[in-house]
Amino acid sequence: MRQIRVGVVGCGVIGRVHMKAVTECRQAALAAVADVREEAASAAAREFGAARNYGSAEALLADADVEAVILALPTNVRTPLALAALAAGKHTLIEKPIAMNAGDVRRLLAARKDRVVACCSARLSLLPSTLAAARFIAGGALGALRVVRIRALSPVGRKPEKAPPPWRLNRALNGGGILMNWGCYDLDFALSLTGWRLRPRVVLAQAWRVASELREYVAPGSDAETHFAALIRCAEGEVISFERGEYVTAAADSAWQVLGDSGSLRMPLTPCKGKEVWHDSLGPDGVRTETIWTGDEEGRMQHQAVVDDFVAAVAEGRAPHTTLERALQVQEISDAIYASAASGRAVEMASS
């Protein structure tokens, strides 16, 4: 079996996660790593057995032995590098969120040609539990879909000893806050569960920054949202109810649920031991609940799955799970949420 020769650009925390996943992928070989911090690139190459290390992304992209690249860099610098990677003929896996805005994604689509381009927002969509739930929904057990519910609130905890990384809540560096950081996972997950057949049309949303008394909990200069709520009406009348928040003064609360006219499905989002997927349906005494899937999922699985899918797509000449077209849909929804929150009005999305 021929192995795909992969290069990783960015030797920070998530870059090293990608390197480990590449080394554990049977179809891949870690050909090169790169970072502007040359000592970090050298150390990563030694740790993960990369054949070469470089002090710039450009040098790695010029390496003819590298067939595919993983861009593990901040959002604000990724699109130019992704365009350069495509111009160099490299298949490309892009960290999440896919880009700063939908316009950048369209630029990537125009440059893709015959290359495989995938997005890491697929991590949770590729878990065994999610794939099983998607197959169950596709079988029609829920009837006509009505509501997809996403709610995840993380309460404020003890004041951190040091501020979080500045990019996490900075629009210039990350395109936004919690919606870009976690919302892309939520939307990819929800759209995957429903077979990517929902067509969002109208978005009404509100977003909030961290409360004034909690400013010291976030990095100086943070200007992006820590909490948002959105109602998204789709073309066939389905609704996505979407709320996520961090640093909120509330108890932890979460729900990922798909409701149809004859049943519903509930499940946790993230990997855990003893994870279950529940189907609620009509029984002789009213609503009854059955477990349709159970199993153990480890955190590393979500990172391994997205690398394995990308490498297999390159080797097999097929599309990855989250293509640029699908990533564009996620980004268009995110852009509409921001636009509605800024204007205070519902935003109509273009039909695509």
CA atoms within 13 A on the CB side of 54: 17
Q: Which of 69-73, 88-92, 167-171 is predicted least confidently?
A: 167-171
* Nearest in space to 275 (alpha carbons), one of 92, 156, 118, 130: 130
Q: Enumerate the domain spans of the chain.
A: 4-121+303-323, 124-297+331-348
**pTM greater than 0.85 (yes/no):** yes
Lookup: tokens for 213: 């008394």
Interval 228-242 mean pLDDT:
98
User: Residues 6 or more apart from 253 whose CB is under 8 A from it?
Assistant: 151, 152, 153
Tokens 């590098």 locate to 81
The CATH H-level superfamily of 124-297+331-348 is Dihydrodipicolinate Reductase; domain 2 (3.30.360.10)
CA angle 347, 350, 352 (to 5 degrees): 145
The CATH H-level superfamily of 4-121+303-323 is NAD(P)-binding Rossmann-like Domain (3.40.50.720)
CA distances from 350 to 203, 236, 329, 346 (A): 11, 15, 11, 13
Specify burial of residue 2 (Cβ count, 10 A radius: 0-12, 13-18, 19+): exposed
Question: pLDDT digits over 17-51, tens only?
Answer: 999 999 999 999 999 999 999 999 999 999 999 99
Question: pLDDT digits over 185-230, tens only?
Answer: 999 999 999 999 999 999 999 999 999 999 999 999 999 999 999 9
Tokens 């590729």 locate to 126
* Nearest in space to 109 (alpha carbons), one of 342, 298, 352: 352
Same fold, 4-121+303-323 and 124-297+331-348: no
